[in-house]
Chains A and B, each alone.
Chain A
Amino acid sequence: MASTEVTGQAGTVAPARTESHTTRSGRSPSGAERERRWSGHGKPALLFLAPFLLLYLLFIIGPAIYGLVMSFFHTSMVNPGLGEFAGFGNYAEVLSSSDFWASLWHTIWFTILTTPPLIVLALVFALLAERARRGRWFFRLAFFLPYILPSAVVALIWIWMYTPELGLLSRAVTSLGFAEPDWLGDPDFAMVSLAVTTVWWTLGFNFVLYLAGLQEVPRELYEASAIDGAGPWQQIRLITVPLLARTTSLVVVLQIIASLKVFDQMYIMTQGGPNFATRSVLQYIFDIGFTDFRSGAAAAASTLFFIVVLAVSAFWLVMTRRQEPEL
């Protein structure tokens, strides 16, 4: 029973749900009385909150504010202090830098390449798995196992898969009679290769989300529709997919946000190359911040990137809020 509570969908939706929860309990008859009995827990509350809040302020909020300040200075990684005041210089520089825009585009391009297959394939696999009577543990193992591996391991394995002439994929493609693409060496193809790797790596997460979503589709609907003569395809199209709309919207947003934060695959597999074709925003920040020692400019680029992610999150929050009453 307890676990169904957690199954109440996405922690990210929590604020909306908890809010409604508290207002509900506030409205309940015993609410006022309870409020009186529970009021004024300032001291214990502080003690309970202190460990988390302390670390949170020190390592999340603090750096966030410091980073914002730094973005207005010519701070150098190798010199102490903030350095010279730069005004909006760093922002102007980053915004006028074609490298920044190129890396932002690469990140978006990566998002475009990975999001649809990650959603469609995960949904298809989950639908297929739902129909399989036995061996669901095996599918979960096969699809989900890669997700739990460190990016470095995934990268090493796929670099080997993509190795020209020797790699498994190269040989698979040539044995089918195609010319072998230069998987990671062709600037037009490298991002596709990285996307393939990423789909393989992270599909399991969406697969599991969809499997859980499918659990919540009432059995009776299928049985009833079967009696009405609906074939499996109609069942999927008319019952399952529409009822999974909420899961899909969750998957889409988590997927987009995760894709925007891509760094590991590129850093290890292509170092942002060839010819910068796969340099992501985070690697751009890493490069100017830690290779060029330009902490101030890197902080400005970080702030801009944060705004992009925030915009996507906010957009989703607004969308789901609007959706809520219908569901």
Chain B
Amino acid sequence: MAILANKDVQPLTAAQARHHAATADRRTRLFNRCCTGVLIAFALLWLVPLAWALDTSLKPNGETVNPTWVIENPTLASFQTLLAQGDIINWYAASFIISALSAAGTVVTASLAAYALSRMRFRYRWLTFWIILMGIMVPRQVLVVPQFQELGSINLLNTYWAVILPAIPIAIAVFVFKQFFDGIPKELDEAARIDGAGFFHIYRRIVLPLARPAVSAVTIFSFVWAWNDLLWPLIALSNPEIMTIPVGLATVQGTYGIRYADTMASAILGALPLVLVFLLFQRRIVEGIAGTGLKG
């Protein structure tokens, strides 16, 4: 509406409008600069805890009690100690395998299911749809008690599978895929079907490649969720050799004394892989959130 009015009025008061626009422009520019300044201050504030952790981790343990940013004797000793102990290597392996297999499992099973829901007609389609919808409503956390009994009875506790298998069926992933598939013109795969292509061929060769943004969003998110999950792995993995990074950090304690440098080094090491994931896939992650509102 404003645009229309603008178009009508402009020829009449061009000079006036230009004047208005110029002052507004100047004001806006000043305002914008102030905004940027404030935001930079906040952003730096936000980085302080991470910087402080890094700073502490580079000090010798003894030096952490005189709390300054200056490191008198910078050292990697804390990192070396941790890596030499080897626990954290096992936790890396566990976290990596669990997160990778969970993410792969979610992408494959959820996209297959979503494809069926999006492109096929069959009885109980709505029932299936609603049953999966209900899954979004069930918080994983309320299932830990029965899940423990269930996985105990099939002897899967204390294996990676105890964490991987329940992490695969993420209902919301089906919806993200279905929504995306619904947006892909049906004419494409109908044409392929007329050419005699099977459903799987269409799914694999046509729909999935077109859905790459959804695939990457779901992959990254299920990976990060699996990597960061604490409650269930804490219960399912009680053998320290196969713990994931968060569980290990939360349950296995350092060897002795007040060792803030070691603790911070373990925090930094625990954070490192995800920081890399973030730096590599920053755009994808941000788009994924913006597009789907996925939240752990």
Interfacial residues, chain A to chain B (CB-CB below 8 A): 2-3, 5-12, 14-15, 17-18, 21-22, 25, 34-35, 37-42, 44-46, 48-49, 51-53, 55-56, 58-64, 66-67, 70, 75, 77, 125, 127-129, 131-133, 135, 137-146, 148-153, 155-158, 160-161, 163, 166-168, 171, 200, 203, 205, 208-209, 211-212, 215, 220-221, 224-233, 250, 254, 257-258, 261, 263-264, 267-268, 282, 285-286, 289-290, 295, 298-299, 302-303, 305-306, 309-310, 313
Chain A residues in 8 Å Cβ range of B83 = none
Beyond A56-B171, A306-B139, is A205–B295 a contact (Cβ under 8 Å)? yes
Chain A residues in 8 Å Cβ range of B60 = none
Which of B24, B53, B116 touches A160 (beta carbons < 8 Å)? B53
A67-B142, A77-B148, A250-B293 known; 9 new pairs, CB 8 Å cut-off, are A34-B186, A42-B123, A52-B113, A148-B277, A149-B275, A152-B247, A156-B267, A158-B49, A306-B142
CA distance A138 to B39 in the complex (A): 10
Of B46, B65, B67, the most chain A CB neighbours within 10 A belong to: B46
Q: Which residue of B lies closest to A254 (CB)?
A: B295
Contact between chains at B290 and A18 (CB < 8 Å): no
CA distance A321 to B70 in the complex (A): 56
Which of B53, B122, B139, B292 touches A42 (beta carbons < 8 Å)? B122
Chain B residues in 8 Å Cβ range of A203 = 46
Contact string, B162-202, partner A, CB cutoff 8 A, digits 1/0? 00011011011011101110111010001000000011100
Contact between chains at A150 and B270 (CB < 8 Å): yes
Which of B6, B24, B230, B287 touches A3 (beta carbons < 8 Å)? B287
CA distance A233 to B24 in the complex (A): 11
Of B3, B267, B294, the most chain A CB neighbours within 10 A belong to: B267
Which of B43, B46, B109 touches A55 (beta carbons < 8 Å)? B109
CA distance A151 to B296 in the complex (A): 12
Within 8 A of A (CB), among B273-296: 274-275, 277-278, 282, 285-296
Chain B residues in 8 Å Cβ range of A41 = 116, 120-122, 199
Within 8 A of A (CB), among B28-76: 28, 31-32, 35-36, 38-40, 42-44, 46-50, 52-53, 56, 64-65, 67
Contact between chains at B282 and A137 (CB < 8 Å): yes
Looking at chain A's contact residues, is the secondary structure mostly helix, strand, loop, or mixed?
helix
Query: Closest CB-CB distance, A259 to chain B, in whole Å?
Result: 11
Contact string, B246-287, partner A, CB cutoff 8 A, digits 1/0? 110110000000001001101100110011011000100111
Q: Which residue of A lies closest to B218 (CB)?
A: A11
Chain B residues in 8 Å Cβ range of A77 = 148-149
Contact between chains at A228 and B20 (CB < 8 Å): yes
Q: Which residue of A lies closest to B149 (CB)?
A: A295
Beyond A53-B128, A128-B39, is A38–B120 a contact (Cβ under 8 Å)? yes
Q: Which residue of B lies closest to A156 (CB)?
A: B267
Of A2, A150, A231, A263, the most chain B CB neighbours within 10 A belong to: A150
29 A–B pairs (Cβ distance < 8 Å), ordered by A: A2-B180, A2-B183, A6-B176, A11-B294, A15-B129, A38-B119, A49-B117, A61-B135, A62-B146, A63-B143, A63-B150, A67-B146, A77-B148, A143-B43, A144-B286, A146-B50, A152-B245, A157-B50, A157-B52, A167-B67, A215-B290, A221-B2, A229-B23, A231-B24, A285-B144, A295-B148, A298-B145, A302-B144, A313-B137
